[in-house]
């Protein structure tokens, strides 16, 4: 019973923190507006660890590697912690355990990224009907423009209805299926 509580707390707290780090990474990468309340919130809750790690892991070609590595490390801790709390024996060599959990943490970041994209596309589509001038609109646009632009060039609006969000969500769902398959293969390989 207590291990279930610890698993829940570990997964929830570190999962949300990893999500915040990943969102911060993408907001900086996509040059989302900084003076938005969401941007300020993400910087405020992650700055305590990102700033010291930046001294060790510098940015590279516009990529804030320290934030991305911290998001990966949080996922790594979740995977190792949950497996230990569930009672799995980590009897393999330390190198293979590190590689296996490292790959699974990377796959988890890819999965989270796909969910972020899908949720932002859905929220942007709903907001475009309800309140297109919402304060979230610039952030959502900076996140979804690269993806929706691909479909908007290939599929013009039908009767003034943009179908690109529908096509993008279908592709994201397909990618999530592929990621789940890869995740399962890696889990079997390192067990």
pLDDT digits (tens, 9 = 90+) for 135-191: 888 888 888 888 999 998 988 888 888 889 999 999 999 999 999 999 999 888 766
Under the banding of pLDDT at 50, 70 and 90, the label for residue 74 is very high
**Does the pLDDT at position 63 exceed 70?**
yes
pLDDT mean over 38-54: 92
DSSP 91: -
- Specify the pLDDT at position 92: 65
pLDDT at residue number 19? 96
Distance CA 139, CA 123 (A): 11
- In the chain, how many H helices and how many E strands? 6, 0
Q: Evaluate whether 71 touches 27 at the Cβ level (below 8 Å).
A: no
Look at residue 190 in the predicted model and tell me its pLDDT.
67
SS (H, E, C) 146-185: HHHHHHHHHCCCECCECCHHHHHHHHHHHHHHHHHHHHHH
Q: pLDDT at position 129, please? A: 84
Length of the chain: 191
Average pLDDT, the chain: 89
Q: What is the mean pLDDT of residues 126-134?
A: 86
Check pLDDT > 70 for residue 12: yes
pLDDT band at 61 (very low <50, low <70, confident <90, very high): confident
More confident residue, 88 or 130: 130
What is the Cα–Cα distance from 43 to 21, expressed in whole angstroms?
9
What is the C-alpha separation between 65 and 68, in angstroms, rounded? 5
Dist. CA 5–CA 85, nearest whole Å: 10
Statement: residue 88 has pLDDT above 80: no
pLDDT band, very low/low/confident/very high, at 11 (cuts 50, 70, 90):
very high
In whole angstroms, give the CA distance from residue 164 to residue 147: 9
158 φ/ψ angles, rounded to the nearest 5 degrees: -105, 115
Spatial contact of 67 and 58, defined as CB atoms under 8 Å apart:
no
Greatest extent of the chain over all pairs of C-alpha atoms, in Å: 61
Q: Could you tell me what percent of the chain has a pLDDT over 90? A: 53
Query: Considering Cα of 171, then 25, then 64, then 30, what sign does the dihedral take?
Result: positive
What pTM does this model have? 0.89
């Amino acid at each position: 019973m207590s291990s279930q509580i610890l698993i829940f707390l570990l997964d929830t707290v570190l999962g949300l923190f990893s999500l915040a780090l990943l969102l911060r990474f993408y907001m900086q990468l996509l040059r989302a507006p900084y003076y938005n309340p969401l941007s300020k919130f993400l910087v405020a809750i992650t700055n305590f660890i990102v700033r010291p790690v930046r001294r060790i892991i510098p940015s590279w070609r516009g990529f804030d590697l320290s934030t991305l590595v911290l998001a990966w490390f949080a996922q790594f801790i979740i995977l190792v912690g949950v497996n230990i709390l569930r009672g799995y024996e980590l009897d393999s060599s330390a190198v293979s355990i590190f590689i296996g959990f490292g790959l699974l943490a990377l796959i988890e970041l890819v999965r989270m990224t796909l969910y972020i994209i899908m949720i932002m596309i859905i929220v942007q589509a709903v907001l475009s009907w309800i309140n297109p001038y919402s304060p979230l609109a610039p952030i959502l646009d900076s996140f979804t423009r690269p993806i929706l632009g691909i479909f908007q060039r290939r599929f013009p609006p039908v009767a003034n209805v943009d179908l690109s969000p529908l096509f993008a969500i279908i592709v994201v769902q397909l990618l999530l299926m592929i990621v789940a398959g890869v995740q399962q293969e890696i889990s079997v390989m390192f067990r």
